[in-house]
Chain A
Amino acid sequence: MADRKIRVLVAKPGLDGHDRGAKTIAAVLRDNGMEVIYTGLHQTPEMIAETALQEDVDVVGLSILSGAHMTLFPRVKAALEERGMGHVLLTGGGIISKEDMASLADVGFVKLFGPGTRTDDIAEWIQTAMEARWKNEEVSG
């Protein structure tokens, strides 16, 4: 499947309007050869999951700076599960403490990025994780 591209949904859950990071990371992922769908601001978990489904994305990345991540991230995960989209790779970023990162890892957000992360590191992490997944698919499928 030489034509396959990593499709990423960059989403802004909740009411905060700080999209500088989300838009920058969207541009960086594009520059790393990925196809990026940007949701725009103020999305509910249901809207994010529905978009992920319609776009058949491989990755969902959430950006949040409102402090509501402990409420909203698990809801996004649940809304994805409900739609049979439990397989997507979940990540995100924002002002998230270490303890919160640890409990969100249990929900499925295996990697979250804090303030000051290099955007290329995020792109690289996604790239590596997806390559591993696709390799597994080939082996098993």
Chain B
Amino acid sequence: MDASGEMAARLLSGDRAALARVISWAENADARYPAVLSAIYPRVGHAWRIGITGPPGAGKSTLTNELVATLRKRDETVGILAIDPSSPFSGGALLGDRIRMEERTADTGVFIRSMASRKSHGGLARAASDACDVMDAFGFSSILMETVGVGQSEYDVVAAADTVLVVLCPGAGDGIQAMKAGILEVADVLVVNKSDLPDADRLMMDLEDAVRMRTVRQEEGGWVVPVVACSARDETGIDDVIAAVDAHRSWQEAADLAGTRRAKRVAQVRRVVGERLEEELWGRLGNTDRAEALLGNSVTPYDVAEDILTSVLGSARDAAQADEV
């Protein structure tokens, strides 16, 4: 058996060191990884993947820790992927999220892996998704993916999850600002952590109002995003968060889970392709220079855009236009 086959077999037999190593291969885009993925792919698809995101200081790690405790009480096994940013200066990273989950280290039903965002957003989303596939194949019943922030790159990471929790807390980034950043488009469940703090009620109301406004526009039978209060530090409201995740799961299973998952994967493909194209267009293909050279008094930005599109898409574009005619 070759290295990949042997590693896949070890992983499927429950060897945690093999699980850890395969995640490294995925993360490093190691040449041995694709063959492992092929070998384990039939076992992927059983775990429920929960994405957890929110602004810094919202208490995501503490909440993750409590969610794991609750899931363990009902005999679920849990894989956790904790993602932290890499330093833009050195490329290194300091991964400290495990500290909040220290009690889980000795639990053989739990596996925690820290991941640094490294350079490219597309690359992170792929590594994170691969790591989830690997943990899924290993046999965990739930997978929690935790990442800081509410921006595009975090969206890319958590969007692959089946249920996305957006965690907010009073004080850390006010409610209105967060809504502007489009968290409602990401969230399947909104969690207000630190619900014992003074402004928690206000944040709950703001979020509920925002959900209501969106619900009016959506079609019958759509998922209505619940707003759940909890205090991870005091271990209160955790059951409510889990109940909301369960409800979202049942709703998806009653609807078209396979279709939803497929749609998410297609969206993922589109994002990766889109990002790669961006990089290629303006980087290696030299279109920034081209645009600068072309722009002149009598040449509008639209003219330049047409020129670049024609040069890039070339014959494919001609053919499409011919079809239309």
Q: Chain B binding site: helix, strand, loop or mixed by DSSP?
A: mixed
Nearest Cβ on chain A to B251's Cβ, whole angstroms: 33
Determine the chain A residues whose CB is within 8 A of the CB of B116 once the complex forms: 5, 35
In the bound assembly, the distance between CA atoms of A55 and B102 in angstroms comes to: 14
In the bound assembly, the distance between CA atoms of A56 and B98 in angstroms comes to: 14
Determine the chain B residues whose CB is within 8 A of the CB of A16 once the complex forms: none
Taking a contact as CB atoms under 8 Å apart, the answer to whether B93 and A36 are in contact is yes
Interface string of A22-53 (1 = CB under 8 A from B): 00001101111111111110000011001101
Q: Tell whether A5 pairs with B92 under 8 Å between CB atoms, given A40-B102, A50-B106, A54-B112.
A: yes
Q: Chain A binding site: helix, strand, loop or mixed by DSSP?
A: mixed
Taking a contact as CB atoms under 8 Å apart, the answer to whether B20 and A51 are in contact is no
Taking a contact as CB atoms under 8 Å apart, the answer to whether A36 and B20 are in contact is no
Number of A-B residue pairs, CB cutoff 8 Å, is 88
Chain A interface size, as a band, is: 20 to 34
Nearest Cβ on chain A to B324's Cβ, whole angstroms: 42
In the bound assembly, the distance between CA atoms of A1 and B116 in angstroms comes to: 17
Which single member of A4, A31, A85 contacts B17 (CB below 8 Å)?
A: A85
In the bound assembly, the distance between CA atoms of A56 and B20 in angstroms comes to: 5
Taking a contact as CB atoms under 8 Å apart, the answer to whether B16 and A54 are in contact is yes
Q: Tell whether A37 pairs with B20 under 8 Å between CB atoms, given A1-B28, A54-B112.
A: no
Taking a contact as CB atoms under 8 Å apart, the answer to whether A33 and B91 are in contact is yes
A133 at the interface (CB under 8 A from B): no
Interface string of A69-110 (1 = CB under 8 A from B): 000000000000001110000000000000000000000000
Nearest Cβ on chain B to A76's Cβ, whole angstroms: 14
B242 at the interface (CB under 8 A from A): no
Taking a contact as CB atoms under 8 Å apart, the answer to whether B99 and A32 are in contact is no
Determine the chain B residues whose CB is within 8 A of the CB of A85 once the complex forms: 17
Nearest Cβ on chain B to A14's Cβ, whole angstroms: 15
Which single member of B20, B92, B102 contacts A31 (CB below 8 Å)?
A: B92
Interface string of B88-101 (1 = CB under 8 A from A): 01111111101100
In the bound assembly, the distance between CA atoms of A51 and B97 in angstroms comes to: 12
Taking a contact as CB atoms under 8 Å apart, the answer to whether B30 and A1 are in contact is yes
Interface residue tally for chain B (C-beta within 8 Å): 33
B113 at the interface (CB under 8 A from A): yes
Q: Tell whether A36 pairs with B29 under 8 Å between CB atoms, given A5-B116, A84-B17.
A: no
A138 at the interface (CB under 8 A from B): no
Determine the chain B residues whose CB is within 8 A of the CB of A56 once the complex forms: 17, 20-21, 23-24
B114 at the interface (CB under 8 A from A): yes
A121 at the interface (CB under 8 A from B): no
Taking a contact as CB atoms under 8 Å apart, the answer to whether B20 and A55 are in contact is yes
Q: Tell whether A38 pairs with B17 under 8 Å between CB atoms, given A3-B118, A47-B105, A47-B106.
A: no
B27 at the interface (CB under 8 A from A): yes
In the bound assembly, the distance between CA atoms of A1 and B89 in angstroms comes to: 21
Q: Tell whether A53 pairs with B90 under 8 Å between CB atoms, given A3-B27, A3-B118.
A: no
Determine the chain A residues whose CB is within 8 A of the CB of B250 once the complex forms: none
Taking a contact as CB atoms under 8 Å apart, the answer to whether B16 and A26 are in contact is no
Taking a contact as CB atoms under 8 Å apart, the answer to whether A37 and B95 are in contact is yes
Chain A, Cβ-Cβ closest to B99: A40
In the bound assembly, the distance between CA atoms of A83 and B111 in angstroms comes to: 14
Taking a contact as CB atoms under 8 Å apart, the answer to whether A29 and B17 are in contact is no
In the bound assembly, the distance between CA atoms of A33 and B94 in angstroms comes to: 10
Could you list which residues of chain A lie within 8 angstroms of chain B, going by C-beta atoms? 1, 3-5, 7, 26-27, 29-40, 46-47, 50-51, 53-56, 83-85
- The 4 A-B pairs at the shortest CB distance, nearest first, are namely A40-B99, A56-B20, A30-B92, A33-B92
Could you list which residues of chain B lie within 8 angstroms of chain A, going by C-beta atoms? 16-17, 20-21, 23-24, 27-31, 86-87, 89-96, 98-99, 102, 105-106, 111-114, 116, 118, 123
24 A–B contacts from the bound complex (CB under 8 Å): A3-B28, A3-B29, A3-B118, A5-B118, A26-B94, A31-B92, A33-B90, A35-B93, A36-B93, A36-B95, A37-B98, A37-B114, A38-B94, A39-B99, A40-B96, A46-B106, A53-B17, A54-B16, A54-B111, A55-B20, A56-B23, A56-B24, A83-B16, A83-B17
